[in-house]
Structure 1
Amino acid sequence: MNRFVIADPQLCIGCNTCMAACSEAHRQQGLQAEPRLVVMRSAEESAPQMCHQCEDAPCATVCPVNAIRREDEAIVLNESLCIGCKLCAIACPFGAITLSGSKPLDIPVDVCTSLAAPPPRPPRGVSPLLDWQPGIRAVAVKCDLCSFRPEGPACIDTCPTGAIVMVSDDALAKAAARKRQLTAMPKACNWQLPAVTEGEHE
């Protein structure tokens, strides 16, 4: 089973700290700063939507350049290999893959000369799958469990309520053992008080 991150909507307070931590952690590594999770809200509760690290990983199946692979019990996307075809985002059943973009740092925003017409203005944003901006290369981003951090995912470390946890084979085995232990406890304590005859309680 692949490792994955899960959030408890009963504990989540919708503070967006996980998104900020995810963005900053990846930016420091020279990766796209787009958060790999998005906090979704309803009238009663909130929780981040994130990659499920699927065993069959349809995103990896449709990637034409093999940029998405299974590494260290997780589905990891290599941004350097991504060609921005958006097939992985379309194939993901959970909407956990989005598109970000970057442009060369040495090129000014408005590069105009007397011999060239000014570039067109970027169209109004509609969806990451439909939007485009002149001179910006689209790159797919998804949760990589912060594989570059020895301490693990940044969202788990920074969540103020502990709503986000890592699920792995070891964690499931410990949870199952704990459940069996709690289930067996009433049977072990199934004892009766000795009968009290009349006059002994006085």
Structure 2
Amino acid sequence: MAKIYLDPERCIGCRSCEVACEREHGHPRISVGIVGDLAAVPVYCHQCDTSPCTAVCYTGSLRLDGDMVAFDQDLCTRCGLCVVACPFGAIELRSMIQRCDLCIEKETPICVMTCPAEALRLGDVDVVSRSTRRRAAGALAARLVRI
């Protein structure tokens, strides 16, 4: 399954992904957090393999559907457990739960298509190598440690 990956060294903090997502969905399902002067960090659903949000959802409104976390707003009671459980802070509680669905109706998520620095990329878990993911995580950690 394809997932969104971030190359933190490329993110310029322009928030193009956020604006494009808001245009597409009426509310941004990705946000760019600015940490100090040094790091812009897009916050989005990582479609976790062991998704804590689905584990705490007692109504089944958030559930694993194959390799993707699916959401059924009709079953959602807005209890907020998923918001607390998400390790990435990617779920918001508004009039209904807001979270990334990878623009399921499109071939490529709008945030990935819009990113001018190509910091957000769509890739298959099996194709994106472990070393690539570790390098990106290390680069992000190094930027955050300097703050």
TM-score normalized by structure 1?
0.58
Q: Deviations over 1:161-197 (max 9, x none)?
A: 1110123234226x88xxxxxxxxxxxxxxxxxxxxx
Who is 1:142 aligned against? 99
Q: Which has the higher contact order (CA 8 A, sep 6+)?
A: 2
Q: How many residues align?
A: 130
The structure with more radius of gyration: 1
Counterpart check, 1:91 vs 2:85: yes
Counterpart check, 1:37 vs 2:26: no
**Residue type of the partner of 2:34?**
R
**Residue type of the partner of 1:157?**
M
Tell me the C-alpha RMSD between the 2 structures.
2.0
Shift of residue 19, structure 1, vs aligned partner:
0.8
Counterpart check, 1:162 vs 2:98: no
CA contact (8 A) 2:3 2:125 kept: no
For 2:46, which of 40, 45, 52 is the aligned residue?
52
Shift of residue 79, structure 1, vs aligned partner:
2.3
Identity %: 37
Supply the distance in 2 between the matched residues of 1:167 and 1:41 (Cα, whole angstroms): 25
Higher helix share: 2
TM-score normalized by structure 2?
0.78
CA contact (8 A) 2:49 2:67 kept: no
Who is 1:65 aligned against? 59
Supply the distance in 1 between the matched residues of 2:50 and 2:108 (Cα, whole angstroms): 23
Who is 1:113 aligned against? none
CA contact (8 A) 1:8 1:47 kept: no
Give the unaligned 5+ runs of structure 1. Answer: 27-32, 102-138, 177-202
**Residue type of the partner of 1:82?**
C
**Residue type of the partner of 1:55?**
D
Moved over 6 A (4+): none
Q: Deviations over 1:59-82 (max 9, x none)?
A: 111112101122252112222322
